[in-house]
Amino acid sequence: MPGGTEFARLKKRVTDLKLNTVCQSASCPNIGECWNNKALTVMILGDICTRSCRFCDVTTGRPQAVDEDEPRRVAKILGELDLNHTVITSVDRDDLVDGGARIWAATLNACHEFAPSMSVEVLVPDFKGDLASVDTVLAANPDVFAHNLETVPRLSREVRVQASYKRSFAVLKHARSKGALTKTGIMLGLGETREEVEQVIDQLAELELTILTLGQYLQPTRKHLEITEYVSPGVFDALRDYGLSRGIEHIESGPLVRSSYHAEGQAKLIRRMQTRPGYGQIGAASLVDPPTV
């Protein structure tokens, strides 16, 4: 159960500043560990999602109006925490023309102002495939651009309902073609085969993805998708080794791994990658095409 002095202090600050976190909204099992280490994932654009993914515990419904002051509040608390690295995510806002990209950019710009030494990872939605919205986020210079595939192509429509593997892959491909340091995550235990996961890893390696997370799906409530398998730690280890052998720089793989788990520990890797000669020079023409699904 979450507890501890730092956890209680951070929870109070989040409440006082009326911030949303995916740690709370998505019922993350690691909230106690992360918050006691002053690591949290802020969720912008409200706490009501326009989508109804069958694995996710974030509330679905009609979101409230955009809070124009939210970027300042987010940057303020992150600046106060004196973090080396942080993760920002959001609900899907399909009700907005740009999917919320303008607020994403404003939040990043405010973070650069309030916490200039902090690296920022963005975990973005797919913006319904609108690459202009993706460019709006990229123009605000995130240190890591993350978007989750969530599962293998065969299961994508069943798991994510209003999204698709092909569209998500295209978002990652576009961000990589712009020179972004890219990251994605996959859940296991939804009925995928090991061979299917390895095929996805192969595609991500061709994309020159930098960071991959692999974690066990846990059913939030009885209304969500059922777990088909509790994947053994040995399989997580084997998949991590396979991904590393294919050239992916960093892989977090284990039952309780989530998209932002140990993200603060990846800051050194991020800075090392950013100074690598030629990194970010790859062109879109040399990238693999999104798989047909």
Supply the CATH classification number for the domain 5-277: 3.20.20.70
Give the tokens for residue 109.
Answer: 């710009």
Which residue ranges make up each domain of the chain? 5-277
Q: Which DSSP letter does residue 155 get?
A: G
What digits encode the pLDDT tens for the residues 165-206? 999 999 999 999 999 999 999 999 999 999 999 999 999 999
pLDDT higher at 225 or 192:
192
What digits encode the pLDDT tens for the residues 53-68? 777 777 788 888 999 9
Q: What pTM, to 2 d.p., does this model score? A: 0.85
